Amino acid sequence: MIPSSPATWTIDGEAAGATLASQVARCLLLSEADAIDLIDFGSAQVNGRQERLPSRLVQRGDVVQVHWPRHGTRRAYEIDPRRILFQDRALLAYDKERGIPSQQTPYDAYNNLFAGLLRHLERAGGRQAYVGLHHRLDRDTTGVMVFTLDPRANRKVAQAFETGQVVKEYLAWIGGLPPWETWWREDEIGRRQGHYATVPRGQGKPARTRFEVLLRHEGRSLVGAWPFTGRTHQIRLHLAASGYPIIGDRLYGGSPWDGLLLHAHRLSLPHPVSGREQDWTAPIPQDWPDPRPAASPDARRR
């Protein structure tokens, strides 16, 4: 059974000058080959920063932490090139799958979209690639993400996010039938008992989201969401605070579903080189509820 909490220890004088791999092997009772595999996978941190170089020499007082991978050091994820919505020399837009982190986690630097894109670009180009990350989607949120492929594009893309030039439109299925057609939430978002939560004014970071009911169907509703800030879990928290959590959002009280029904449907921003407006739409996932009435047996036969 894989431990749920990370292993943490401080390097003493006797171990100073040894390699990180040898110390991970010694302290965790592993072979050095298994220790190297853990480090290369991204599971080790030194003084709070991920360290992927097994030969790094540790010093007295260094704090080493190893986060146990949930599924072992299994290198399984690769991007699907068919999900690339746009690519030129400066930008790449991708339709992120459910269940894939946007970036590395404390225990896994391989199975995430950022690393997968790097591998894909390096295989395609035969040389070292660059990918810039400017925003994130939760692991179980699907839809449009945009990355820079040239560091010279970073400043303008970052400015576009900071100044509200990036427009993001989400779709979500929620349980229940809200009495409003449109509404706003401006609850601040902070941390409470180690989790993100809406908090009283002045105790968190400002957050603002506009919602609109697009469809009501069999006791649930499809809503559009337009976040004007980019706080972690913002749409999920604001819908839960409205009394209508997203279906499949077990963390914030949503009714059961096989996955979170939150989708980053559309994103637009000015191109960092040409200045022309770029607009990308990610198709609605195939496993989402279908609100269309089922065809009759006779109609299906026709």
How far CA 293 is from CA of 124, 218, 220, 235, 296, in Å, comes to 44, 11, 15, 29, 9
Please give the model's pTM, rounded to 2 decimal places. 0.88
Residue 225 sits in which domain range?
Answer: 81-281
Q: Say if CB 49 and CB 77 are below 8 A apart.
A: no
Closest CA to 73 of 105, 119, 98, 107: 107
Q: Is residue 300 part of a domain?
A: no
Task: Please check whether residues 118 and 29 belong to one and the same domain.
Answer: no
Q: Is residue 72 part of a domain?
A: no
Task: Please check whether residues 105 and 32 belong to one and the same domain.
Answer: no
Place of tokens 């229940």: 176
Q: Is residue 223 part of a domain?
A: yes
Task: Please check whether residues 244 and 112 belong to one and the same domain.
Answer: yes
Task: Please check whether residues 120 and 154 belong to one and the same domain.
Answer: yes
Task: Please check whether residues 54 and 12 belong to one and the same domain.
Answer: yes
Task: Please check whether residues 171 and 141 belong to one and the same domain.
Answer: yes
Query: What does each of the 302 residues of the chain score in pLDDT, given as a tens digit?
Result: 566 689 999 999 899 999 999 999 999 999 999 999 999 999 999 999 999 999 999 999 999 999 999 889 999 999 999 999 999 999 999 999 999 999 999 999 999 999 999 999 999 988 899 999 999 999 999 999 999 999 999 999 999 999 999 999 999 999 999 999 999 999 999 999 889 999 999 999 999 999 999 999 999 999 999 999 999 999 999 999 999 999 999 999 999 999 999 999 999 999 999 999 999 999 999 999 887 654 433 433 33
Q: Say if CB 170 and CB 264 are below 8 A apart.
A: yes
Task: Please check whether residues 258 and 232 belong to one and the same domain.
Answer: yes
Task: Please check whether residues 40 and 143 belong to one and the same domain.
Answer: no
Q: Is residue 1 part of a domain?
A: no
Q: Is residue 71 part of a domain?
A: no
Q: Is residue 153 part of a domain?
A: yes
* pLDDT for the residue 237: 98
Contacts with 254 (C-beta within 8 Å, 6 or more apart), sequence order: 174, 175, 240, 245, 246, 247, 248, 260
Task: Please check whether residues 248 and 157 belong to one and the same domain.
Answer: yes
The DSSP-derived string for 110-155 is SSSHHHHHHHHHHHHHSS----EE-----TT-EEEEEEESSGGGHH
| Domain of residue 50, CATH code | 3.10.290.10
| Domain of residue 107, CATH code | 3.30.2350.10
Q: How many domains does the chain have?
A: 2
Kindly list the catalytic residues: 138
Task: Please check whether residues 263 and 167 belong to one and the same domain.
Answer: yes
Domain boundary among 23, 39, 66: 66
* pLDDT for the residue 170: 98
Task: Please check whether residues 18 and 61 belong to one and the same domain.
Answer: yes
Q: Is residue 287 part of a domain?
A: no
Task: Please check whether residues 186 and 55 belong to one and the same domain.
Answer: no
What angle is formed at CA 206 by the lines to CA 179 and CA 248, rounded to 5 degrees?
50
Q: Is residue 27 part of a domain?
A: yes
